[in-house]
Structure 1
């Protein structure tokens, strides 16, 4: 035993460099404040490049102009992307107006981006504006603590405004879980909010996360069946809401999902989450902390590629991990309560809730809210925010819900939405069920285009559906610019994962419910080649499918790809 940790669960070897950075960071302070005041460079250097992630920021640069700046002997145009912490994605109109103004005045792109983590991002914030950004958010009750780095990130919650009582309870638990698992260090307030410096030493500063925090990023959701709009199998920890009528009675707990992988390394793979069982509401925070601390103590701190919770479960055994969680939480999981996922995306358009309020889900392609000559989306949302009496709910599918609208206000809000391109009856079902990560020009990990690639490519897929007589149907289609999983392509019926300029891996066989990982069909091929394959596959699907058989189910039944049941074995086998 090492302390209370069994020796056989500890991965032996030289610790990853990130472990040194965290251990020497003085609880995430590092020398960020000194770097921020360094006017020689527009970026953050050395360890601070990593540490600012724990404060919700990634250092990026405009890759479209990187080569030209290098020719001019200039450093890359460094800036930061900030991701806000918004458990459950709920934001008030007043908060929206403030972030809209900041995006206009202080970001390079002037846009707001809704993300698959059910929050918003600012892109292109230059160093002199970083503190203003944090202080602006703080004034309206928002922060970016722990939205990146080796911590529990923004907690997702099903954006279901229809069953409002159950949703409200689930949403409140998402907030409680987020707060419970947050870092306790005062570094964020000291550096960005000009808070008083606090001397923090000893292990009790971070009772859940520990001095060196988690081995890798950690993602948590609260989901309300039958809507799997948060893609539970993309996350480390999931609380599946179990209701008795409109009252929440507890959660089924799913652990160990994740989608990221590394090309050429078969020790990495996407994985479904395991069902640990049911817990009553009063044990929710105890179980959340127990899963996080078990991963903290048992996770791989030697090889970051194998550091996520999914690999810990596979290395030590899911049953053993579950038993340790039970010991730490002082609970025995009950048998899971029955539930079923039947839907995944968002309900675009108007729906009426049981509280007689109306809710309008706006389709935002790629989550990018900006004004264009075709559709002034950003102006439209701002105009809605200026009159809306309810709230907004950002979804994990990059859309925006105008929630809690009185019947008397429906027509006025709809008129704004239609006139600004936020409601468009011509948008196809295929487009509504397609998604991409950011990729170029800002993401430093991108190997291929995704966000900029998606709209035109969906148009071509729409053409294939029309060609084969199914123009009103859709296939869940997702694109990521690299294999890190941000666009959740590894839970799509058709997933493209970037390999290089206009080169993608083509994966097939996910399902509508989001409970199955797709399998590699073609490796490292062009977008034109992919269209050719899709043309043939869609033709076979239309000709030979069973009644109501989805594309992902068909390609497995027809033997086009094998079903991925056990992630590592089936994914590569």
Structure 2
């Protein structure tokens, strides 16, 4: 006898219910902010993200049995990376007064301030808003900071359109809840740039079910997006913003006179994943179609509505739009998108080849004024020793009231510079240890990126920002040893697989797995148009040179004209790389066998014993300090005998 099967509806995730109960992002933040505690509850942490803040603790300061060293990271929302002078000076001051004395340029063209205490959150956020800034939507399940090329070309209409539409799309998708101003400014809505009337009209327009009627959030509703949603706007050929890594990317299309015609659409990019869970993966965006300029806001809303209504609200690991497009296929996704949009999309317009630009050094901006791009290692704006970037920027921006643009490679562009100021600005920067000639920036550092990771990021499983400089030094030394001193390699590192520094698009990507251990990705390209692939699942960084040397030798001896390391790895394939590496290692091992035997015999000639108590202490110290027991004993003996002299 056959029985009818019963489909049990899947329950939405805890976060979905939490968002729905939050009264449009008000609770439990409003209540918990009034409580005399150092931190928020788990529910509070989830809603706090929408307001632009992550609760963290300094993991270097953790002591068993004591409360964590709770602090908060604030992230700003700056479409196209635009930072007006008064906002930078406010951020600089807030980081000194309430933060950890540094600012950090993010890979999405915003700033982060670290080290803020809960009791100071309201003061810091209110000051940011009053200085023409915002943190609303910099984190959380909604549209994040909209990116655009940072180059301030005033004589290029397409670049100006990219900036304009990055701002307008950011406004279109900004949360409309009053919670942000109620909580952080006591209901006072600070004076901000005037929103374009057309943006407001398109937001309120209910296009085939894109809107929730009579809702405080006409686009997002009570549950907002299934997960974060990322947009970018760029111009043909300019891939300074990693165009294939976003949920939605628009490419400005102009006519021969420079007049805006419309936009190419790419969708379905995203990099976050989880180690050894094959259902999660990095994905590059697909070409979807073309839309005329008058329809672009309807199109953006249609894309958002498709992901909002059909994205996975049960499994957060499967909730990004990349999984929806991957599961459905581009054809089905486009068909559903067109239902909301109300018309067919036009075919994708042909584009020139993409190229990565960093815009470092001095340039003309096309209207008689200048701009200068400054390399910021791992985005950390600080004063340290002779390197006084933070102080230099403060002096220059204060003196000349200059706006800045942040780049997707976490560098900084100062612009609107009168040519007569160039000499003085250069002098200020150089006197504070800031390199203004891009040719003098280390060739690996220039194209590298790392996420903050330890000690503040709660997701980090190992180091990233703090260790990458030493990793680059080691690779640079190895390149020198192999006669490859001038070789450029795009290297990116993260402390976990979420991919904040976009390592999956790099030529050589380090993805944190566990302390000192990284997954290694190879085969990306310098212009960030192709995903890399996993080459090694786990590599201890102590084995870096041993791992990398054969690959670099193979590349050096077999590369084609102008071929880069990532292009070479992709062309020859991983099987060829492994075959060569195995032969290289075995031949090197044979050469070193006799010397290894002699040194090993010599090292083991003398042995000493310690009692169990000292052995256990030695073992514990070895684990904590990540040093060999022999090394600790040697250092202790050296210190002892030195004190006897």
> TM-score, normalised on structure 2?
0.82
The residue number in structure 2 matching 1:194 is: 186
User: Which among 210, 223, 234 is matched to residue 212 of structure 1?
Assistant: 223
The residue number in structure 1 matching 2:21 is: 24
Matched, 1:447 2:461: yes
Q: 1:551 to 1:247 in 2, by over 3 A?
A: farther
> Which deviates more, 304-313 or 336-345?
336-345
SS of 1:148 mapped into structure 2: coil
- Which whole-Å CA distance do the structure 1 matches of 2:434 and 2:293 have between them? 38
Matched, 1:152 2:146: no
- Which whole-Å CA distance do the structure 2 matches of 1:47 and 1:23 have between them? 12
TM-aligned CA deviation for residue 341 of structure 1:
4.1
SS of 1:205 mapped into structure 2: coil
Matched, 1:136 2:136: no
- Whether the 8 Å CA contact 1:506–1:530 is kept in 2: the answer is no
Q: CA RMSD in A?
A: 1.9
- Whether the 8 Å CA contact 1:253–1:275 is kept in 2: the answer is yes
- Whether the 8 Å CA contact 1:256–1:273 is kept in 2: the answer is yes
TM-aligned CA deviation for residue 345 of structure 1:
4.2
- Which whole-Å CA distance do the structure 1 matches of 2:343 and 2:564 have between them? 40
Q: Deviations over 1:367-418 (max 9, x none)?
A: 1001001301100111110123442101111000011211111111111111
> Which deviates more, 505-514 or 238-247?
238-247
Which runs of structure 2 are paired with 1:273-422 in the superposition (5 Å)?
273-422=285-434
- Which whole-Å CA distance do the structure 2 matches of 1:61 and 1:247 have between them? 50
- Whether the 8 Å CA contact 1:234–1:257 is kept in 2: the answer is yes
> TM-score, normalised on structure 1?
0.92
TM-aligned CA deviation for residue 490 of structure 1:
0.5
Which runs of structure 2 are paired with 1:499-514 in the superposition (5 Å)?
499-514=513-528
Q: Deviations over 1:256-310 (max 9, x none)?
A: 0001111121111000101111111111111111101110000001100000000
Matched, 1:184 2:176: yes
SS of 1:133 mapped into structure 2: helix
- Whether the 8 Å CA contact 2:510–2:521 is kept in 1: the answer is yes
Larger helix percent? 2
Matched, 1:270 2:300: no
Matched, 1:96 2:108: no
Q: 1:533 to 1:16 in 2, by over 3 A?
A: same
- Which whole-Å CA distance do the structure 1 matches of 2:391 and 2:464 have between them? 25
Q: Gapped runs of 5+ residues in structure 1?
A: 1-9, 564-573
- Whether the 8 Å CA contact 1:257–1:273 is kept in 2: the answer is yes
Q: 1:20 to 1:561 in 2, by over 3 A?
A: farther
The residue number in structure 1 matching 2:531 is: 517
- Whether the 8 Å CA contact 2:354–2:529 is kept in 1: the answer is no
User: Which among 165, 181, 201 is matched to residue 173 of structure 1?
Assistant: 165
SS of 1:387 mapped into structure 2: helix
Q: Gapped runs of 5+ residues in structure 2?
A: 1-6, 190-211, 578-645
- Whether the 8 Å CA contact 2:159–2:234 is kept in 1: the answer is no
TM-aligned CA deviation for residue 224 of structure 1:
1.8
Runs of 4+ in 1 over 6 A off after TM superposition: none
- Whether the 8 Å CA contact 1:510–1:517 is kept in 2: the answer is yes
Which runs of structure 2 are paired with 1:248-267 in the superposition (5 Å)?
248-267=260-279
